[in-house]
Amino acid sequence: MGFKTKLKDVLIGTLSDEELLLLPRGFQTIGNVVIIKLNPKLMGKKKKIGEKYLELLPSIKSVYLNSGRVKGQFRTPEKIEYLVGVKNSIIKHKEHGVIYKFDFTKIMFSMGNLSERKFLATLVKEGEIIVDMFAGIGYFSLPIAKHSKPKKIFSIELNPDSFNYLNENIELNHCENIITPIKGDSKIEVIKLSKSGLKADRVIMGVFPAPKDFINEALTLAKAEGTIYHYEGIVDKEKYLGLFNEFKEIAERNDYKCDLLTKRFVKSYGPGLYHVVFDIKVHKK
Protein backbone atom coordinates (compact mmCIF):
# COMPACT_ATOMS: atom_id res chain seq x y z
CA MET A 1 0.00 0.00 0.00
CA GLY A 2 1.40 3.41 -0.97
CA PHE A 3 2.04 6.06 1.69
CA LYS A 4 -0.76 8.32 0.48
CA THR A 5 -3.29 5.50 0.82
CA LYS A 6 -2.08 4.76 4.37
CA LEU A 7 -2.28 8.45 5.26
CA LYS A 8 -5.79 8.70 3.84
CA ASP A 9 -6.89 5.64 5.84
CA VAL A 10 -5.72 7.05 9.17
CA LEU A 11 -7.28 10.44 8.46
CA ILE A 12 -10.76 9.17 7.58
CA GLY A 13 -13.12 10.88 10.01
CA THR A 14 -10.68 13.75 10.66
CA LEU A 15 -10.73 15.05 7.07
CA SER A 16 -13.71 15.35 4.75
CA ASP A 17 -13.82 13.25 1.56
CA GLU A 18 -12.82 16.33 -0.44
CA GLU A 19 -9.90 17.06 1.91
CA LEU A 20 -8.68 13.46 1.79
CA LEU A 21 -8.23 13.81 -1.96
CA LEU A 22 -5.99 16.87 -1.43
CA LEU A 23 -3.42 15.05 0.72
CA PRO A 24 0.13 15.19 -0.67
CA ARG A 25 1.60 12.23 -2.48
CA GLY A 26 5.17 12.67 -1.28
CA PHE A 27 7.33 14.31 1.36
CA GLN A 28 10.96 15.21 1.91
CA THR A 29 13.09 13.53 4.56
CA ILE A 30 16.23 15.09 6.03
CA GLY A 31 17.79 13.09 8.85
CA ASN A 32 14.85 12.11 11.07
CA VAL A 33 12.71 15.05 9.98
CA VAL A 34 9.90 15.03 7.46
CA ILE A 35 9.10 18.22 5.58
CA ILE A 36 5.66 18.28 3.97
CA LYS A 37 3.84 20.61 1.60
CA LEU A 38 0.08 20.98 1.92
CA ASN A 39 -2.72 22.23 -0.26
CA PRO A 40 -3.85 25.63 1.18
CA LYS A 41 -7.29 24.10 1.84
CA LEU A 42 -5.69 21.72 4.39
CA MET A 43 -3.92 24.38 6.47
CA GLY A 44 -6.59 24.37 9.20
CA LYS A 45 -5.79 20.71 9.88
CA LYS A 46 -2.02 20.86 9.42
CA LYS A 47 -1.14 19.70 12.97
CA LYS A 48 -3.55 16.76 12.85
CA ILE A 49 -2.07 15.71 9.51
CA GLY A 50 1.47 16.14 10.87
CA GLU A 51 0.67 13.84 13.80
CA LYS A 52 -0.27 11.07 11.38
CA TYR A 53 3.11 11.29 9.65
CA LEU A 54 4.76 10.71 13.05
CA GLU A 55 2.45 7.77 13.66
CA LEU A 56 3.08 6.15 10.27
CA LEU A 57 6.83 6.75 10.07
CA PRO A 58 8.45 5.34 13.24
CA SER A 59 11.98 6.60 12.45
CA ILE A 60 10.72 10.19 12.09
CA LYS A 61 10.93 12.47 15.13
CA SER A 62 9.61 15.79 13.76
CA VAL A 63 7.31 17.11 11.08
CA TYR A 64 7.70 20.58 9.52
CA LEU A 65 5.57 22.33 6.92
CA ASN A 66 7.14 24.06 3.91
CA SER A 67 4.76 26.65 2.51
CA GLY A 68 7.21 28.88 0.70
CA ARG A 69 9.92 28.81 -1.93
CA VAL A 70 13.68 29.17 -1.92
CA LYS A 71 14.29 32.80 -2.63
CA GLY A 72 16.67 35.73 -2.79
CA GLN A 73 20.40 36.06 -3.22
CA PHE A 74 21.07 33.82 -0.21
CA ARG A 75 18.72 31.11 -1.58
CA THR A 76 16.94 30.83 1.77
CA PRO A 77 13.66 29.00 2.43
CA GLU A 78 10.80 31.47 2.69
CA LYS A 79 8.63 29.64 5.23
CA ILE A 80 9.32 26.31 6.91
CA GLU A 81 7.32 26.00 10.14
CA TYR A 82 7.31 23.49 12.98
CA LEU A 83 4.23 21.26 13.17
CA VAL A 84 4.69 18.34 15.60
CA GLY A 85 7.31 16.16 17.33
CA VAL A 86 10.72 17.24 18.54
CA LYS A 87 11.33 20.93 17.82
CA ASN A 88 14.83 21.07 16.42
CA SER A 89 15.57 22.41 12.97
CA ILE A 90 19.35 21.99 13.19
CA ILE A 91 20.29 18.66 11.69
CA LYS A 92 23.30 16.68 10.62
CA HIS A 93 22.53 15.21 7.22
CA LYS A 94 24.89 12.42 6.12
CA GLU A 95 25.31 11.93 2.42
CA HIS A 96 27.99 10.18 0.39
CA GLY A 97 30.41 10.10 3.34
CA VAL A 98 29.95 13.81 4.12
CA ILE A 99 28.24 15.37 7.15
CA TYR A 100 26.29 18.56 6.44
CA LYS A 101 25.13 20.40 9.56
CA PHE A 102 22.64 23.21 9.01
CA ASP A 103 19.33 24.73 10.06
CA PHE A 104 16.85 23.71 7.38
CA THR A 105 14.49 26.57 8.23
CA LYS A 106 17.23 29.07 7.33
CA ILE A 107 19.31 27.30 4.70
CA MET A 108 18.29 25.46 1.55
CA PHE A 109 19.40 21.93 0.86
CA SER A 110 18.32 20.48 -2.45
CA MET A 111 17.97 16.70 -2.36
CA GLY A 112 17.59 16.90 -6.14
CA ASN A 113 21.24 18.01 -6.44
CA LEU A 114 22.61 14.86 -4.80
CA SER A 115 23.87 13.40 -8.08
CA GLU A 116 25.77 16.60 -8.90
CA ARG A 117 27.29 16.85 -5.39
CA LYS A 118 28.62 13.30 -5.90
CA PHE A 119 29.60 13.61 -9.54
CA LEU A 120 31.54 16.87 -9.39
CA ALA A 121 34.02 15.31 -6.96
CA THR A 122 34.80 12.56 -9.50
CA LEU A 123 35.94 15.17 -12.05
CA VAL A 124 38.54 16.72 -9.77
CA LYS A 125 42.15 15.65 -10.38
CA GLU A 126 44.87 15.32 -7.78
CA GLY A 127 46.54 18.60 -6.85
CA GLU A 128 43.87 20.94 -8.22
CA ILE A 129 43.45 24.46 -6.90
CA ILE A 130 39.72 25.18 -6.74
CA VAL A 131 37.69 28.31 -6.05
CA ASP A 132 34.09 27.65 -4.98
CA MET A 133 32.48 31.07 -5.50
CA PHE A 134 29.07 30.30 -3.90
CA ALA A 135 30.05 27.74 -1.30
CA GLY A 136 26.99 27.78 0.98
CA ILE A 137 27.47 25.26 3.80
CA GLY A 138 29.99 23.37 1.67
CA TYR A 139 27.62 21.60 -0.77
CA PHE A 140 30.41 21.01 -3.33
CA SER A 141 33.58 21.88 -1.40
CA LEU A 142 33.06 19.15 1.22
CA PRO A 143 32.54 16.13 -1.08
CA ILE A 144 35.48 17.26 -3.22
CA ALA A 145 37.74 17.66 -0.16
CA LYS A 146 36.62 14.27 1.21
CA HIS A 147 36.71 12.14 -1.92
CA SER A 148 39.21 13.75 -4.30
CA LYS A 149 42.73 14.99 -3.72
CA PRO A 150 42.68 18.73 -4.43
CA LYS A 151 45.57 20.81 -3.15
CA LYS A 152 43.37 23.65 -1.92
CA ILE A 153 39.77 24.83 -2.11
CA PHE A 154 38.94 28.49 -1.47
CA SER A 155 35.27 28.51 -0.46
CA ILE A 156 33.57 31.90 -0.57
CA GLU A 157 30.21 32.53 1.11
CA LEU A 158 28.33 35.76 1.79
CA ASN A 159 25.42 34.68 4.00
CA PRO A 160 26.64 34.76 7.65
CA ASP A 161 24.41 31.83 8.70
CA SER A 162 25.70 29.64 5.88
CA PHE A 163 29.27 30.78 6.50
CA ASN A 164 29.07 29.70 10.16
CA TYR A 165 27.84 26.25 9.14
CA LEU A 166 30.50 26.06 6.43
CA ASN A 167 33.13 26.51 9.15
CA GLU A 168 31.49 23.92 11.40
CA ASN A 169 31.20 21.46 8.52
CA ILE A 170 34.85 21.87 7.58
CA GLU A 171 35.72 20.85 11.15
CA LEU A 172 33.14 18.04 11.36
CA ASN A 173 34.50 16.54 8.15
CA HIS A 174 38.17 17.16 9.07
CA CYS A 175 38.88 19.22 5.95
CA GLU A 176 40.73 22.11 7.63
CA ASN A 177 43.94 21.47 5.68
CA ILE A 178 42.20 21.57 2.32
CA ILE A 179 39.36 24.11 2.56
CA THR A 180 40.02 27.78 3.26
CA PRO A 181 36.67 29.48 4.01
CA ILE A 182 36.35 33.11 2.97
CA LYS A 183 33.48 35.27 4.23
CA GLY A 184 32.39 37.84 1.69
CA ASP A 185 31.02 38.70 -1.73
CA SER A 186 32.69 36.53 -4.35
CA LYS A 187 32.68 39.47 -6.79
CA ILE A 188 35.18 41.16 -4.48
CA GLU A 189 36.89 38.13 -2.94
CA VAL A 190 37.75 36.57 -6.31
CA ILE A 191 39.53 39.74 -7.37
CA LYS A 192 41.47 39.76 -4.09
CA LEU A 193 42.52 36.16 -4.74
CA SER A 194 43.63 36.83 -8.29
CA LYS A 195 45.49 40.01 -7.25
CA SER A 196 47.36 37.88 -4.72
CA GLY A 197 48.60 35.85 -7.71
CA LEU A 198 46.20 32.90 -7.45
CA LYS A 199 45.21 30.98 -10.57
CA ALA A 200 42.70 28.14 -10.35
CA ASP A 201 42.37 24.79 -12.09
CA ARG A 202 38.62 24.80 -11.44
CA VAL A 203 36.12 27.51 -10.55
CA ILE A 204 32.69 26.49 -9.25
CA MET A 205 29.88 28.95 -9.96
CA GLY A 206 26.93 27.08 -8.41
CA VAL A 207 24.09 29.50 -7.78
CA PHE A 208 20.73 30.46 -9.25
CA PRO A 209 19.96 32.46 -11.26
CA ALA A 210 23.04 31.76 -13.42
CA PRO A 211 25.74 34.13 -12.12
CA LYS A 212 26.34 36.00 -15.39
CA ASP A 213 27.38 39.15 -13.52
CA PHE A 214 30.28 37.27 -11.92
CA ILE A 215 31.85 35.88 -15.11
CA ASN A 216 34.30 38.76 -15.64
CA GLU A 217 35.63 38.41 -12.10
CA ALA A 218 35.74 34.59 -12.32
CA LEU A 219 37.84 34.80 -15.51
CA THR A 220 40.62 36.63 -13.64
CA LEU A 221 41.39 33.22 -12.07
CA ALA A 222 41.93 31.50 -15.45
CA LYS A 223 45.27 29.89 -16.24
CA ALA A 224 46.76 30.48 -19.69
CA GLU A 225 46.84 26.70 -20.27
CA GLY A 226 43.27 26.23 -19.14
CA THR A 227 40.79 26.37 -16.25
CA ILE A 228 37.51 24.50 -15.95
CA TYR A 229 34.42 26.49 -15.00
CA HIS A 230 31.37 24.82 -13.46
CA TYR A 231 28.54 27.09 -14.58
CA GLU A 232 24.86 26.40 -13.90
CA GLY A 233 21.39 27.79 -14.43
CA ILE A 234 17.79 27.05 -15.33
CA VAL A 235 17.11 26.48 -19.02
CA ASP A 236 14.49 25.44 -21.48
CA LYS A 237 15.81 21.95 -22.40
CA GLU A 238 15.67 22.60 -26.14
CA LYS A 239 17.60 25.86 -25.85
CA TYR A 240 20.16 24.98 -23.21
CA LEU A 241 23.09 26.15 -25.37
CA GLY A 242 21.90 29.73 -24.89
CA LEU A 243 23.26 29.64 -21.35
CA PHE A 244 26.65 28.34 -22.50
CA ASN A 245 26.78 31.01 -25.23
CA GLU A 246 26.14 33.69 -22.60
CA PHE A 247 29.31 32.54 -20.79
CA LYS A 248 31.25 32.14 -24.04
CA GLU A 249 30.49 35.66 -25.30
CA ILE A 250 31.81 37.23 -22.12
CA ALA A 251 34.89 34.98 -22.14
CA GLU A 252 35.65 35.79 -25.78
CA ARG A 253 35.36 39.51 -25.06
CA ASN A 254 38.09 38.94 -22.47
CA ASP A 255 40.26 37.13 -25.06
CA TYR A 256 39.55 33.64 -23.81
CA LYS A 257 38.51 30.63 -25.89
CA CYS A 258 35.80 28.31 -24.51
CA ASP A 259 35.14 24.61 -25.06
CA LEU A 260 32.05 22.97 -23.64
CA LEU A 261 33.41 19.74 -22.11
CA THR A 262 30.18 18.31 -20.66
CA LYS A 263 26.64 19.23 -19.74
CA ARG A 264 24.34 17.58 -17.22
CA PHE A 265 20.63 18.06 -16.64
CA VAL A 266 20.50 17.79 -12.85
CA LYS A 267 16.76 18.00 -12.23
CA SER A 268 13.47 19.21 -13.61
CA TYR A 269 12.54 22.72 -12.53
CA GLY A 270 9.00 23.05 -13.83
CA PRO A 271 7.31 22.40 -17.15
CA GLY A 272 10.01 22.23 -19.83
CA LEU A 273 12.61 23.77 -17.50
CA TYR A 274 15.76 22.08 -16.27
CA HIS A 275 18.62 22.78 -13.91
CA VAL A 276 21.65 22.39 -16.16
CA VAL A 277 25.35 22.26 -15.30
CA PHE A 278 28.20 22.93 -17.74
CA ASP A 279 31.89 22.17 -17.43
CA ILE A 280 33.54 24.78 -19.63
CA LYS A 281 37.25 24.77 -20.38
CA VAL A 282 38.58 28.28 -20.76
CA HIS A 283 42.03 29.14 -22.08
CA LYS A 284 43.82 32.13 -23.59
CA LYS A 285 43.31 32.61 -27.32
Ligand X SMILES: C[S@@+](CC[C@H](N)C(=O)[O-])C[C@H]1O[C@@H](n2cnc3c(N)ncnc32)[C@H](O)[C@@H]1O
The residue number with the shortest CB distance to ligand X is: 134
Q: By CB under 6 A, which span of 48-56, 123-131, 155-163, 168-176 interacts with ligand X?
A: 155-163
Question: CA-CA distance, 54 to 245, in Å (whole number)?
Answer: 49
Say if CB 118 and CB 96 are below 8 A apart.
Answer: yes
Position among 113, 155, 167, 227 found at the interface with ligand X (CB under 6 A): 113
Nearer to ligand X, 51 or 246 (CB): 246
The CA angle 160-161-164, to the nearest 5 degrees, is 85
Bridge-based pairing state of the strands 76-77 and 129-132 = unpaired
157 binds ligand X, rule: CB under 6 A: yes
Nearer to ligand X, 93 or 199 (CB): 93
Question: CA-CA distance, 156 to 200, in Å (whole number)?
Answer: 14
Residue 109 beta carbon to ligand X: minimum distance, rounded to whole angstroms? 7
Q: What is the DSSP string of 232-252?
A: EEEEEGGGTHHHHHHHHHHHH
50 binds ligand X, rule: CB under 6 A: no
276: three-class secondary structure by DSSP: strand
Position among 16, 39, 73, 268 found at the interface with ligand X (CB under 6 A): 73
Position among 28, 32, 110, 220 found at the interface with ligand X (CB under 6 A): 110
186 binds ligand X, rule: CB under 6 A: yes
Phi and psi, residue 158, nearest 5°? -95, -35
58: three-class secondary structure by DSSP: coil
Q: Which amino acid is at 161?
A: D
Number of residues interacting with ligand X: please give it, by CB under 6 A. Answer: 19
203 binds ligand X, rule: CB under 6 A: no
Residue 112 beta carbon to ligand X: minimum distance, rounded to whole angstroms? 8
Residue 75 beta carbon to ligand X: minimum distance, rounded to whole angstroms? 4
Residue 115 beta carbon to ligand X: minimum distance, rounded to whole angstroms? 11
Q: What crossing angle do the helices spanning 3-11 and 46-56 adopt, rounded to 10°?
A: 120
Position among 158, 203, 218, 280 found at the interface with ligand X (CB under 6 A): 158
Bridge-based pairing state of the strands 256-268 and 273-284 = antiparallel
141 binds ligand X, rule: CB under 6 A: no
Residue 204 beta carbon to ligand X: minimum distance, rounded to whole angstroms? 9
Query: What beta strand segments (E) does 74-192 contain?
Result: 76-77, 80-85, 90-95, 98-103, 129-132, 152-157, 179-183
Position among 53, 102, 104, 139 found at the interface with ligand X (CB under 6 A): 139
Residue 130 beta carbon to ligand X: minimum distance, rounded to whole angstroms? 15
118 binds ligand X, rule: CB under 6 A: no
* Chain contacts with ligand X (rule: CB under 6 A): 73-75, 108, 110, 113, 134, 136, 139, 156-159, 162, 185-187, 206-207
